[in-house]
Structure 1
């Protein structure tokens, strides 16, 4: 069984389908920020097209996996962010769906069956407005990229601090 010592932050989507690229944009922002404020050792920043096998490969063996993905919601509010967590086989289910044919839910269920879930999974699902072919995010989605990147950094710090307290106690 792999040791759970890493943190993976995964931006899911397609950067050539406008708002579907929000996960990639957040990863790009985190890479920029890491130049000035390095992330904890063992933190991996990755992008993925949403293929369940690739997602599982990226988060397998991690203590914490943070996934940022575009979502469709009805009615939609472009730029609204939903935070979902998975701990001990409990997944909060949103009223959103991935913007991909196979969604994150399928990857989670497959990972559960295979025993390859991360120790903790946090998903940030961002409601989008435009998934047409092209680059660039809509204004509402672009506006959440920087605060969401900061929120992901905070998520990592909280995890690192909780892990350190666990080692002390």
Structure 2
């Protein structure tokens, strides 16, 4: 029997800055859902402030890392979700505007340079509306949490199934 690939789901953000907390909110929802539908062995859920060193530490050695973060877009559509697929062969700075000064783009570039990229990296960027101090997501961003948790579960299942077949997972 083949050992299950290591999988990391990382919610990036600050739950005390309103919509910037969408990453941790998705991770919290996945934890709740795992009571009824457990994640595969070797899957870890984590939250991060977005520091590049900490992100690299969380995804290093994984076959699949899924990162959920808040993003800015102009004009913005709060709650709209963007998906970017990267693997260690094609990793490059995406130019995405994270809500953190140094963050995901820099972590990807640094990890690539150091040879510490996960086998496959999926980034979900959720457009936010409010980054002011306070807790709770705006209505549009909160409405994206459940569907996004389902998409992450589907990504994990697709990766697990491909690994069991000995194939590369489809993006």
2:121 aligned residue: 121
CA distance, structure 2, for counterparts of residue 56 and residue 4 of structure 1: 21
* 1:17-58 per-position Cα deviation (integer Å, ceiling 9, x unaligned): 000000000000000000011000000000000000000000
Structure 1 position 87, deviation (Å): 1.8
Partner SS state of residue 73, structure 1:
coil
* 1:70-110 per-position Cα deviation (integer Å, ceiling 9, x unaligned): 00011110000000010243247666400001120100000
1:77 aligned residue: 77
CA distance, structure 2, for counterparts of residue 157 and residue 87 of structure 1: 18
Aligned CA-pair RMSD: 1.7
CA distance, structure 2, for counterparts of residue 70 and residue 164 of structure 1: 32
8 Å contact from structure 2 (residues 51, 102) kept in 1 = yes
CA distance, structure 1, for counterparts of residue 128 and residue 93 of structure 2: 18
Q: Deviation above 4 Å: which 4+ runs of structure 1?
A: 91-95
1:162 aligned residue: 162
CA distance, structure 2, for counterparts of residue 94 and residue 140 of structure 1: 25
Structure 2 residue 127 is matched with structure 1 residue 131:
no
Where in structure 1 are there 5+ consecutive unaligned residues?
none
Where in structure 2 are there 5+ consecutive unaligned residues?
none
Structure 1 position 119, deviation (Å): 0.2
In the alignment of these two chains, the number of paired residues is 165
1:145 aligned residue: 145
Q: How does 1:87-102 map onto structure 2 within 5 Å?
A: 87-91=87-91, 96-102=96-102
8 Å contact from structure 2 (residues 56, 117) kept in 1 = yes
